[in-house]
Amino acid sequence: MTKIIDTVVQVLLELLGQAIKALPSLLSALVVLFLTKYLVQIVLKVIDETGKRTIKSTSLELLLEKICRIGVWTVGVLLACVLAFPGFELGDIIATLGVGSVAIGFAFQDIFKNFLAGIILLVEEPFRIGDEVVIGDYQGKVENISIRTTKIRTYKGERVLLPNSTVFTNAVKVATAYDYRRTDLAVGVDYNTPLSQARQLLEETIAAVSGVVQKPAPEIDVVNFGDSSIDFVVRYWSNSQQKEIRNVQTRATIAIKQALDGADISIPYPIRTLYYYNQEKYNDYFPIDNREQSN
């Protein structure tokens, strides 16, 4: 029993001695990691100040920040590993990473796919942060493009995180890609209305609505002879932001209704004409009297 205790004590002492010997190396590694953290902050601050002066694209500035952050941390971690394990050289670490890269690639292929898609999105900029987009069933404003996901804030105030690979491989409608968007507003007038008068009234009314731009100019088209009305489409352009689109459409609808009321032009309700027959005298084919005569 005494021999076992002596053996255990001896092993513990050896481990303690090895730990004391390795303590300076571990402390040095911790210091390197600590300094790496502050170095990352300094580098990002320099990039932020420089990027605002030289890089106009917010997406490219974010991409540069991500690359620098990853690069500095990679160098810091590798140096910390070399200091913590003196017998393990930098070349061995790189060789180990090379051997394990295949297995890591299979295990994290989705992460790498999203990472590469995110880089391409930031470089090519099919849309920018702040743009309003429609991707699949989701529409809203792009808040951020991270390494893995694209963050969208919907018009209802919900946050949607879409994988970058999904965004990259699907059709994306960028509603704010241009300064102005066109809205088509349907208006129906009574059949007794002089069409030239109605068209001129609609042109004057929509041109005076706040938020409607004059270039491109509004257009008024007669498009259809409906069941109870002659249908116009008022086409006008306004700021491409969704909020402005809704506000201008509301003002345009109110202004058109007031203008038509002031000109005594009615917007008719759907009309149906009903015919009543004497069912005792008629069936689906011919009058009953004729049927009796044929017999």
The answer to whether residue 244 scores a pLDDT higher than 90 is yes
Beta-carbon contacts of 241 under 8 Å, excluding residues fewer than 6 positions away, are: 132, 176
**Average per-residue pLDDT in the chain?**
79
Helix (H) or strand (E) holding 260: helix 242-262
Strand partners, 182: 237
User: For the residues 220-249, what does the mean pLDDT come to?
Assistant: 92
The alpha carbon torsion through 84, 112, 110, 59 (nearest 10 deg) reads 120
Per-residue pLDDT tens for 98-138? 555 555 555 557 777 887 888 888 778 888 888 999 998 89
Q: How confident is the model at residue 175 (pLDDT cuts 50, 70, 90)?
A: very high
Structure tokens at 280: 């005792």
Question: Which residues, 6 or more positions from 173, have their beta carbon under 8 angstroms from its beta carbon?
Answer: 133, 134, 135
184's tokens: 């088509």
Instruction: Indicate if the pLDDT at residue 43 is higher than 90.
Output: no
Sheet holding 159-163, edge to edge: 159-163, 149-154, 138-145, 132-135, 172-174
For residue 279, pLDDT over 80 is answered with no
pTM for the full predicted model: 0.62
Share of the chain above pLDDT 70, in %: 71
The Cα 54–Cα 254 span in angstroms is 47
The confidence score (pLDDT) of residue 28 equals: 77
Mean pLDDT of 142-167: 90
| All domains of the chain in start order, with CATH | 2-107 (1.10.287), 120-174 (2.30.30.60), 180-262 (3.30.70.100)
